[in-house]
Amino acid sequence: MARVRPMLDGVSETLLWTFYNRAYEAGRRYPVLDDPMALQLLADLDYPFEERFGLPGPFSSQAQGLRSRCFDLAVQAYLADRPEATVVALGDGLETGFWRVDNGRLNWLSVELPEVATLRRTLLPPSDRLRTLSGSATGLSWLDEIEDPVGRGVVVTAQGLLMYLRPAEVRKVIAACAERLPGGVFVLDSMSRWLARGTVAGTSKVGDMTVPPMRWAMNPGERRKLRGAHPGITQVRALRLPRGRGAMGELIRVQSLLPGLRTLTPAVTQLRFGG
Ligand SMILES: C[S@@+](CC[C@H](N)C(=O)[O-])C[C@H]1O[C@@H](n2cnc3c(N)ncnc32)[C@H](O)[C@@H]1O
């Protein structure tokens, strides 16, 4: 296959940065994320990653790997009870979670903006249990595409997405899931307010890329407020990053547990919907 050159900007370009960090981590010795599909994708893409974003630092690549691993563990825990559940990955970018957690029975729906949906379809191998829907997560029509959500169960993930939406949109997406997906869970990550502030001011950069404004932010201590989005939310739970590799892994874990607001990694939260 000829190598593919992604032409993305704005929020969509950020997927290349998270992907690059994950793939870089997957290529290390003793990676925290076992992800051969990400390494294959890295080879298939024609993109000046290092020039655009700089070489991933030991903190950011391992932290991205641990964040994905944290999402994987939450999905796998749900699948242990409901192996035929649908996993809906909102803003899935070039995530390869389907291949990391596939149990041979789940269904996976990626929901992405049109240019990214096209890129996924071009680059990733097809499966009859994997679909990529083109459209905005905030449009909610993807909810109609989930087969037997109550019988089979649903895990919705939003990794690296909600911070780029407006607060009212975040509330709308969560409330709609709580209303329509009883028995399901929603796994999300959030940036602390101080980190988001720099992005809104336009002063936050990763290599040459200016980080797009993160309009929704939440300090870890504010998690319980999410319950107010809908009465169907029966549990709000902090998910801890798994243990990483070496001294850097320990540093990442310890800073993510600090009670202060200046943590450098996004906080991961799981919402459970009753019913
Ligand atoms: C930081 S990237 C995260 C990608 C992937 N989840 C990951 O962790 O690598 C943000 C992603 O959100 C997607 N996105 C932004 N707004 C969206 C929307 N309204 N609906 C669906 N996807 C959206 C972008 O295209 C991009 O892929």
User: What Rg, from alpha-carbon coordinates, does the chain have?
Assistant: 18
Ligand 1 pocket test, pick from 9, 11, 37 with the greatest ligand atom count within 8 Å of Cβ, gives 11
Q: Is residue 3 part of a domain?
A: no
Answer yes or no: is the C-beta of 15 below 6 A from any ligand 1 atom.
yes
Ligand 1 pocket test, pick from 8, 9, 13, 15 with the greatest ligand atom count within 8 Å of Cβ, gives 15
Q: Is residue 169 part of a domain?
A: yes
For residue 246, how far is its CA from the centre of ligand 1 (angstroms)?
30
Give the Cα separation of 127 and 64 in Å (integer). 26
Q: Of 113-122, 138-147, 216-225, which range is least confident? A: 216-225
Q: What is the mean predicted confidence (pLDDT) over 95-104?
A: 98
198 in Cβ contact with 204 (< 8 Å): yes
**Atom 4, ligand 1: residue with shortest CA distance:** 93
The reported pLDDT for the residue numbered 55 is 95
For the chain, the average pLDDT equals 96
Domain total of the chain: 1
Residue 51, CA atoms < 13 Å, CB-side half-sphere: 3
The answer to whether residue 235 scores a pLDDT higher than 70 is yes
The reported pLDDT for the residue numbered 2 is 84
The CATH number given to whatever domain includes residue 198 is 3.40.50.150
Ligand 1 pocket test, pick from 68, 113, 138, 166 with the greatest ligand atom count within 8 Å of Cβ, gives 113
**DSSP 3-state of 134:** strand
Q: Is residue 138 part of a domain?
A: yes
Please state the atom number of ligand 1 nearest to the C-alpha of residue 159. 6
The reported pLDDT for the residue numbered 161 is 98
Whole-number Cα distances in Å, 91 to 15, 204, 260: 9, 21, 28
Q: What is the pLDDT of residues 28-55, one digit of tens each?
A: 999 999 999 999 999 999 999 999 999 9
Answer yes or no: is the C-beta of 23 below 6 A from any ligand 1 atom.
no
Q: Is residue 266 part of a domain?
A: yes
Q: Is residue 4 part of a domain?
A: no
For residue 90, how far is its CA from the centre of ligand 1 (angstroms)?
7
* % of the chain exceeding 70 in pLDDT: 99
Give the Cα separation of 240 and 67 in Å (integer). 9
The reported pLDDT for the residue numbered 151 is 96
For residue 93, how far is its CA from the centre of ligand 1 (angstroms)?
5
The answer to whether residue 68 scores a pLDDT higher than 90 is yes
The reported pLDDT for the residue numbered 261 is 64
CA dihedral 158, 164, 169, 175 (to 10 degrees): 20
The reported pLDDT for the residue numbered 243 is 95
Give the Cα separation of 26 and 272 in Å (integer). 30
For residue 211, how far is its CA from the centre of ligand 1 (angstroms)?
13
Please state the atom number of ligand 1 nearest to the C-alpha of residue 8. 25
Q: Is residue 15 part of a domain?
A: yes
Confidence class for position 96, pLDDT limits 50, 70, 90: very high
Q: What is the mean predicted confidence (pLDDT) over 128-134?
A: 98
For residue 14, how far is its CA from the centre of ligand 1 (angstroms)?
8
Confidence class for position 275, pLDDT limits 50, 70, 90: confident
| Number of residues written out for the chain | 275
Q: Is residue 182 part of a domain?
A: yes
Containing structural domain, residue 180: 10-273
Concatenated DSSP letters of 222-264: GGGGGGGG-TTEEEEEEEPPPP-SHHHHHHHHHHHH-SSS--S
Q: Is residue 123 part of a domain?
A: yes
The reported pLDDT for the residue numbered 183 is 98
Helix (H) or strand (E) holding 197: helix 193-200
Q: What is the pLDDT of residues 240-268, one digit of tens each?
A: 999 999 999 999 999 998 876 667 899 99
Give the Cα separation of 230 and 57 in Å (integer). 39
